[in-house]
Amino acid sequence: MEWLFPVIIAILLYAIIAAVIRRNNLFSENITFFGPIMAIKTDKVGFFDRFIPFKAFFRIYGTFGVLMVVVISGLMTYLLLKTTEITLLTRPEPSDFQKPQNILLIPGVNEFIPSTFAVWTALVLTIAIHEFGHGILCRIEGIAVKSTGLLLAVIPIGAFVEPDEEDLEKTHGMPKMRMFGAGIANNLTVGIICFIALILLLGMVAPSPVPVVTGVYQDYPAWGADLPYPSIITMVNGEPVASREEVSALLSQTKPGDAISLTVVSDGSEIERELILSEWPDELETGYTSGFMGISYYDSDRVVAVLGNLVSPEGMLYLLIAPLNIVPGTEFLRVIPYDSVENTYLQVPFDGFWEVIHLLFWIGWINIMVGIFNALPMVPLDGGYILKEGLNRLLDRRGFGRYVDSIVSTVSWAVLLMILAPILLPYLFHL
């Protein structure tokens, strides 16, 4: 609860500052309010004009973004259809993954997304990266940008670019589609770059020989002695040990029924336990005749092997589901998104390594997720507007333009229902 007092102070300061600005109509040209959210904007948007000389490149880039949206939109619609079908056929029990709050990309509200510096930084950067894509392509396609700025609610929660509505209304076809697709292209490009950098850095991680206890066998010596875990073994019978091999060497001199003293460090405290060793369980089939403590070690070699296997398209998919921990065998990946004691059980090349890893992961993950979600063919998402422009271009020349709004509306509602179905249906099935 150490964070509670600073958070309360920050909220009070923000409320006071916002109230003073609002009551006295201060900085009216640059600050507006949407409820409790403060928008700080500027009409000095010459930054976006700097990209006009590279018009050819950015038009190719924007076109590539539109193609990505079309592919992702089709693929995600198919996956939503299959997920809805499977949900209707299997009638699953509600799970943590299907809790309504877990569809929201809000740190601390979504149970899989922690409220950390890395996550909030990634969230703000993602929105800025998305909006700047729209701003750059606006100028490339001759659409004026009226203003740009930040949205604040105690902390920055996003960014925005405000195009000139008249220019936007006059723009049609591929120029407008490229403008909508640029934000998604930016998100996916930045996300993939961050994941590549992340994988390269994870290739520097090495196994640690430290004897880390991560579990105990029920009804065996360590269980009976109430040995804490996770913990690090530092001494056996008063002799210092620094690796699993050294622990095994000392235990090899024992036999079932012998008593040993075990010194471990857990949560920064040194703890000593007396264990009466037992025989090895038959199911382990080791053939050992020495005494058995009944502990399981942290397998840092396996963790490093899992991290090394991320260099593949399949590895990219594993990164996308790393926070969810829904695929058996990927539980070791939690060292990537989360700050946990397990991060200390691996050898890393420099101080602050895991902070860099967490930041790269969340910037990459949130950018890719926002890019994929915005590609869905549903208004008011970018994918929905691209669908509308595409249909206008296709149907107008054939005299069917009057049906475009109805088609887009129908598709949008269908996609929304398919998003909600796997989340809500399990609760309806098991009322």
- From first CA to last CA, the distance across the chain in angstroms is 36
Measure the CA–CA gap between 283 and 55, rounded to whole angstroms.
68
pLDDT of residue 371: 93
pLDDT of residue 329: 60
Its sign, for the CA torsion 385, 390, 393, 398, is: negative
Measure the CA–CA gap between 265 and 127, rounded to whole angstroms.
43
pLDDT in tens, the chain (431 residues): 455 667 678 778 888 888 888 888 888 778 888 777 788 888 888 888 999 999 999 999 999 999 999 999 999 999 999 989 898 888 888 777 767 777 777 777 777 888 888 998 898 899 889 989 999 999 999 999 888 887 777 766 667 788 888 888 888 889 999 999 999 999 999 999 999 999 999 989 988 888 999 889 988 999 999 999 889 999 999 899 998 899 999 998 899 999 999 999 988 889 999 999 998 888 876 778 888 999 988 888 888 888 888 887 777 788 888 787 656 666 778 888 888 778 888 888 999 999 999 999 999 999 999 999 999 998 888 999 999 999 988 888 888 888 899 999 999 999 999 988 888 888 888 76
pLDDT of residue 157: 67
Please name every residue paired with 346 in a beta bridge, in sequence order, or none if there are none: 207
**DSSP for residue 108:** T
Beta pairing, strands 295-297 & 269-276: unpaired
Considering only CA atoms, which of 315, 423, 124 is closest in space to residue 336? 315
Measure the CA–CA gap between 369 and 386, rounded to whole angstroms.
18
Measure the CA–CA gap between 135 and 376, rounded to whole angstroms.
21
Q: Residue 194, SS3?
A: helix
CA-atom Rg of the chain in angstroms: 28
The residues near 286 (Cβ < 8 Å, ≥ 6 apart) are: 280
pLDDT of residue 326: 59
**DSSP for residue 265:** E
